[in-house]
Amino acid sequence: MALRMTVYVGLLYQELLKRREIPRSGKLPPVLPLVFYNGNALWGAAREVSELIEEIPGGLARYRPQMRYCLLDAMRMADSELESLRNVAAALFRLEKSRGPDDIQRVVIALLEWLQGPEFAELRRSFAGYLLKNLLPARMPGVEIPEIAELEEVKSMLAERVTEWTQQWKQEGLEEGLQKGLQKGQEDALGEARGVLLQDLENRFGPLPEEIRRRIETIASIRELTELSIRAGAAASLAVLAAGLK
């Protein structure tokens, strides 16, 4: 990202020179490179392009390219800090961090208060499009989102459906949690069954070849493990059991 931002700024300056769109001073205008990040994982990329370049010994270090970008990490910004800011960037960050339809509704109400007047009509429509085409479908997959164009209509829609959607959101979260719990329970049961079978085989036949151990550890169903346990009990030797595993 540091290299990409350096290239972007360089291309911008070239374009400004080509169009003769530079200040009367004849100098290039200052640029603040901003990176907006809304991921859950911590940002780990270098923020200064010089960090990506091998160190130069002695006095040559001053000739190593330098440019730093400003990182706006939405998920690490405190909710209280964002709510105190009266600007659309903070509103966008709050939407990205929203946990439910009621959070989204509060931001929409604030935006409508801030963006009054015809000069903000395009910005209001842009927020409405972002909410209806990106944020709400991602937050609530499977919920039908109506085709509307104005932010005021989004506010009305949320006011009418926020309770219904919140309940559906919570229900989907509960079902997902139950599904994960069941899956973890099955995985724990499989692990325990594999351990019992391996122990039984070692008690009967001694140390197991790595190939047999790997094959048993890849079995992904209780039924298959049960069937293998029955075959193992009837097997006269480890070679007979190994032949049945192929």
183-241 pLDDT, tens per residue? Answer: 656 676 777 777 877 877 777 777 878 887 788 787 777 777 777 777 776 676 777 77
Boundary-marking domain end, from 77, 110, 133: 77
Residue 207 falls within a domain, yes or no?
yes
pLDDT digits (tens, 9 = 90+) for 83-117: 888 888 889 888 888 877 778 888 999 999 999 98
Residue 142 domain flag: no
| Residue 182, pLDDT above cutoff 60 | no
In a domain, 214, yes or no: yes
> How many structural domains is the chain composed of?
2
Task: Say if residue 72's pLDDT is above 70.
Answer: yes
Least Cα distance to 108 among 150, 73, 80, 74 occurs for: 150
State pTM to two decimals: 0.52
In a domain, 224, yes or no: yes
1, part of any domain: yes
Q: For residue 207, what are the domain limits?
A: 182-245
Task: Tell me which of 46, 77, 108 is where a domain ends.
Answer: 77
* pLDDT beyond 70 at 173: no
pLDDT in tens, 17-60: 999 999 999 999 999 999 988 887 889 999 999 999 998 888 88
Residue 202 lies in a domain: yes
Q: Could you tell me if residue 72 is inside a domain? A: yes
Any domain includes 126? no
Query: Where does a domain end: 15, 46, 77?
Result: 77
